[in-house]
Structure 1
């Protein structure tokens, strides 16, 4: 680039130098021609010259060389030459015979150049070659004093040496200016080169082109969002995934702190540390963040080159599907554990009954089976048999009841629960109900005795409604339960639930066209929070309606 700049500057200076020299030469030529014309006019207007030329032209014969030497016209021309520095001043009659000439040998002879224009009454200026060599000459007609008709001419010439005597000075000035321009161009080129090296971090244009192509390929090829900004906080790079996750299309050119994003997201992007809370351990680097209907992880890394800070780069990973699937697997695992416990308990009871029968104690075996049957009818979910007959919901609630019992929390189904249809979207229902129940159990664990969680389930056509209440400490005023996310276990001062399930259930309900809301923040003595959910399109009519319902 430096060589190209120097070549460009040199070419421009050379062109300007040629133009200036050409203009200077043309100006000197014009000045010489103008001076010759002025002198010729002056001599031609002299009364003695006019009278002498008129007499010579009126004479029929040709004047001899001897008669012209030292004549008045020769004296007049010689005096004018001495005063003006002209190369020659020649005076002729109407036949082109020299009446005055610097070389006396040429007197009385015809001039070597044309004189017709002057005899026609016209003045001419030109560069011509004659007996005295090339010169800038002017030819002016000499007019008769009486008739004012052209009767001869005056030719005045200047030698090139006298015309261009100032040319070396002109060329020296132009050469000095050209040298100064070249030196200035070289200095500016070097300064620009160094500045470009600082701005491009020493990369050459070919390397920058390859870097841009590789960057475009990488940014469009990765599935994660990539966001980069300089030390001033202005975004310089953003791929389409980052724009989609953040919900902002025009990211480039905007400041990070000016983006319309939640505070936790801005803090995560800017790499700001979060305020520590009691009972939390570990770093916030792997903290998930709720962003609209996505659960994302944001990793930020500083970017620098030797002795220079280039800014930050953030990688935004969408983990909504992974977290949702994890919660669904946890629900399935909890139901599997509950079924395993029930199977083990059922096997133990069968062993007891078989042992009594093998011992011949059939009445005792009968009494034992009756006691087991009575115990199953008075289970911890008294309404499960009468108010909750849907198989999927019944198994899910029983599994959650077993888990809650292990933590000292009593899970019950309200007596007003009534589900007549069959669940047609078990994954969505399990995600919402299991998360609400898990949050309620966690809140009840930190509440006062008795610790309980109550679930109400009602269906209306294809819509399932649920209400989950607990005996915890409630939701503190101003807590954003649907926006804050914490993966760590809660302490007694933490917000209701663990936080990550609530944004997920809200997302699931929104996709179904329903909603999840906080009906009562609680906080009163023995009363915790109450969450409600409405899930349309998750129920269908039973395959075999109960008698009395088919009219």
Structure 2
């Protein structure tokens, strides 16, 4: 039997029991009320009869007589006639009048006149009124006993007993039971309808799943969510998060995701758009692309894929899969920097080999002075500010090679890359990968900005070292960073106007993360935007420099 059917039957059983109990209580209260009404009516009639002057006088005379009245003398007497008339008017079962010895002076059965009553009469002679259900010669009845007082002394000299038969008391009971039965039937019908509606509602909310199926579903969900390496986030049509695993909370940097609206999360706008499935970009051909775009959140480069979820043609919301690609993008940028360095070193090696060939040829031809002049010209060119290596201001081999490689790339795009005259690097780079990633990214962003700026297009780089810390400053001739743009958080790599913002948006958060891992930072020193002056970015990288080898040997 299905769980919903069992629940329906259980609810019907509960409703039936409750209705039965309420019906029994109501019927009991109704019966007690009828009994109380009968006793009250009997007491009122008894009081009225006992207060009659003829009754009081007749009972007083009978009590004063020392003899016992005979049956014949009482039949048809005034008290019997008065009692019979009262019975006929009130519908009572009996009205009995006695003297102070309990002798019946009036009774519905004439044969019992002159005999002692079968019930107790001492309470009435003591001046107290009593109401009870008792059995006598006429059967069970609701009866009331009231003392009859002497007209002269007001002392009790007899009693009046009035009784109602159960048939007359409960003549309204069928109507009462009918009303109760009708109310009980309506209550049962209403309970059945409500139980059926609850069953349908339960099946709709659970999508027809039974408890054992939902238990297995929860177990499978927990196993899947905790077993995958990606973040999983699900929310309903109202954008309220219903499912979020630990990886999703870690990547988004928000521990309590469940129960919150996606649109209200403290996340950058591109991330919110990606989670809501609104970040689909247009391909160059103008067609929609389903490929997820990388976004930056909490120092992570993530790809967010969203998929609608439905069951039985009913929209259940969206599920977002968040993939961390920080390491991949970081490694890609470092590989690009290494490739750039390799190309620069290959060009330098080729140029150096050519110069050696020229020098060797001049010496072999016996033209030593010419060879000397040639070497002087090469050395002078390398020391010229703004030259290929800018050796006058920068002598660290790794940085020289990196700047020369980037200068060659910038030159191809019509941008002149120079080393500032305030540069001073005395140590040697000990972490080339981190330095290459940070410096190359800042230079690439500056070149991109300069390309879309006004002529002349230039990029200026300055290096300073302090112990093991390297400080880099990169400025350009671009249009600067627009006001309100957060280049380290809410800029996507794709779909941007290169002239609208400074940089590409993904590299800047990455290099800041690399610097932060070393205890440093990357920041926007000047947003620029003035005539002929673009943005200025600075980076501080602790632990990437060391003293030259000759200084270390000298200290030893």
With structure 2 as the length reference, what TM-score do the two structures score? 0.81
Whether the 8 Å contact between 1:383 and 1:414 is mirrored in structure 2 is no
Which residue is 1:513 aligned to? Answer: 520
2:322 is equivalent to residue 316 of structure 1: yes
1:351-397 C-alpha deviation (Å, 9 max, x unpaired): 9999x9xxxx9935998998997797556966566654435434544
Q: What pairs up with 1:24-39 in 2 under 5 angstroms? A: 24-39=30-45
Q: CA deviation at 1:164?
A: 0.7
Which residue is 1:77 aligned to? Answer: 83
Which residue is 2:276 aligned to? Answer: 270
Q: What pairs up with 1:67-466 in 2 under 5 angstroms? A: 67-208=73-214, 210-212=216-218, 214-215=220-221, 218-219=224-225, 222-248=228-254, 251-273=257-279, 276=282, 283=289, 285-336=291-342, 338-339=344-345, 363=364, 377=379, 383=389, 387-397=393-403, 400=406, 413=419, 416-440=422-446, 455-466=461-472
Q: Compare 364-373 and 376-385 and name the one that shifted more.
A: 364-373
Which residue is 1:539 aligned to? Answer: 545
Q: CA deviation at 1:88?
A: 1.4
Q: CA deviation at 1:25?
A: 0.6
Q: Compare 384-393 and 298-307 and name the one that shifted more.
A: 384-393
Whole-angstrom CA distance in 1 between matches of 2:68 and 2:198: 78
Alignment equivalent of 2:493, drawn from 481, 486, 490: 486
Q: CA deviation at 1:408?
A: 8.4
Whole-angstrom CA distance in 2 between matches of 1:383 and 1:298: 43
SS state at 1:285 partner? coil
SS state at 2:128 partner? coil
Whether the 8 Å contact between 2:282 and 2:289 is mirrored in structure 1 is no
Whole-angstrom CA distance in 1 between matches of 2:287 and 2:193: 60
Whether the 8 Å contact between 1:514 and 1:536 is mirrored in structure 2 is no
SS state at 1:50 partner? helix
Distance 1:390 1:63, change over 3 A: same
Q: CA deviation at 1:255?
A: 4.0
Alignment equivalent of 1:53, drawn from 48, 59, 70: 59
Whether the 8 Å contact between 2:281 and 2:289 is mirrored in structure 1 is no
Whether the 8 Å contact between 2:389 and 2:401 is mirrored in structure 1 is no
Distance 1:364 1:440, change over 3 A: farther
Task: Please list every run of 5 or more consecutive structure 1 residues that lacks an aligned counterpart in the other structure.
Answer: none
2:73 is equivalent to residue 63 of structure 1: no
Task: Please list every run of 5 or more consecutive structure 2 residues that lacks an aligned counterpart in the other structure.
Answer: 1-6
Which residue is 1:17 aligned to? Answer: 23
Whole-angstrom CA distance in 1 between matches of 2:378 and 2:521: 36
SS state at 2:551 partner? coil
Q: How big is the alpha-carbon RMSD for the aligned residues of Structure 1 and Structure 2?
A: 4.1
Whole-angstrom CA distance in 2 between matches of 1:365 and 1:51: 177
Q: How many residues align?
A: 541
SS state at 2:176 partner? helix
Whether the 8 Å contact between 1:459 and 1:539 is mirrored in structure 2 is yes
Whether the 8 Å contact between 2:389 and 2:404 is mirrored in structure 1 is no
SS state at 2:237 partner? coil
SS state at 1:60 partner? coil
Whole-angstrom CA distance in 2 between matches of 1:107 and 1:249: 98
1:105-154 C-alpha deviation (Å, 9 max, x unpaired): 22222222111111111111111111111111111122222222222222
Distance 1:365 1:310, change over 3 A: farther
1:73-126 C-alpha deviation (Å, 9 max, x unpaired): 222222222222111122222222222222222222222211111111111111
Q: CA deviation at 1:188?
A: 2.2
Whether the 8 Å contact between 1:125 and 1:139 is mirrored in structure 2 is yes
Q: CA deviation at 1:43?
A: 1.9
Q: Compare 505-514 and 9-18 and name the one that shifted more.
A: 505-514
Whether the 8 Å contact between 1:509 and 1:516 is mirrored in structure 2 is no
Which residue is 2:3 aligned to? Answer: none
Distance 1:127 1:366, change over 3 A: farther
1:425-472 C-alpha deviation (Å, 9 max, x unpaired): 4333222012123345556778899987654322133331223456x7
1:321-367 C-alpha deviation (Å, 9 max, x unpaired): 3322332233234434555666788889999999x9xxxx9935998
Whether the 8 Å contact between 1:294 and 1:319 is mirrored in structure 2 is yes
Q: CA deviation at 1:236?
A: 3.9
Whole-angstrom CA distance in 2 between matches of 1:284 and 1:440: 31
Which residue is 2:4 aligned to? Answer: none
Q: Compare 536-545 and 211-220 and name the one that shifted more.
A: 211-220
SS state at 1:146 partner? coil
Whether the 8 Å contact between 1:383 and 1:415 is mirrored in structure 2 is no
Q: Compare 152-161 and 90-99 and name the one that shifted more.
A: 90-99
Whether the 8 Å contact between 2:388 and 2:404 is mirrored in structure 1 is no
Q: CA deviation at 1:168?
A: 0.6
